[in-house]
């Protein structure tokens, strides 16, 4: 017998859609373990035929950037427009970039 906790842990859910090339974050839910989280994700997030694959990860396993570091992290990129590939003509054969 395991000990009782008040609340199931939080899981983040990622779904790969019908036409999607990658899994996208769709939301979060509570579940007792990973298997349970997959089933709950199936019932909560794929009811309207949205998915072909589900990933779940315990929310506590995610390391997030700190909002207070927003300046040093992101602002240096703001004035570097040359990093966008908009100055080049892409040949059609290149396909999805």
Partner 1 sequence: MSQVDSHLIEFLLRQGDNPLILGHRTSEWCGHAPALEEDIALANTALDLIGQTQLWLSYAAEVEGGGRSNNDLAFLRDVYDFRNVLMVEVPNEDFARTMVRQFLFDAFQVPWLTTLQASSDQRVSDIAIKSLKEALYHLERSSDTVIALGDGTELSNDRMQTALNYLWPYSGEFFGEDDTDKAMEKRDIAPLPVSIRETWNSTVSSTLDTANLIAPSDPFAHSGGRTGVRHTEHLGHLLATMQTLQRSHPGAQW
The answer to the question of residue 47 lying near partner 1 (CB under 8 A) is yes
Contact 64, 12 (CB under 8 A): no
Site for partner 1 in 14-43 (CB under 8 A): 29-32, 35-36, 39-40, 43
Q: What is the DSSP letter of 47?
A: T
Looking at the Cβ atoms of 22 and 25, the one nearer to partner 1 is: 25
In the complex, the smallest distance separating the C-beta of residue 40 from partner 1, rounded to whole angstroms, is 4
Please, which residues bridge with residue 58 across strands? 11
Q: How many CB atoms lie within 10 A of CB 17?
A: 16
Sites of contact with partner 1 (CB under 8 A): 1-2, 4, 8, 29-32, 35-36, 39-40, 43-44, 47
């Amino acid at each position: 017998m395991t000990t009782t906790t008040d609340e199931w842990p939080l899981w983040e859910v990622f779904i790969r859609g019908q036409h999607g090339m990658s899994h996208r974050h769709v939301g979060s839910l509570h579940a007792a373990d990973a298997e349970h989280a997959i089933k709950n994700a199936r019932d909560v997030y794929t009811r309207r035929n949205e998915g072909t694959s589900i990933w779940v990860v315990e929310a506590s396993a995610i390391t997030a950037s700190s909002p207070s570091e927003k300046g040093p992290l992101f602002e240096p990129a703001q004035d570097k427009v040359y990093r966008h590939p908009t100055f080049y003509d892409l040949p059609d054969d290149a396909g999805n970039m």
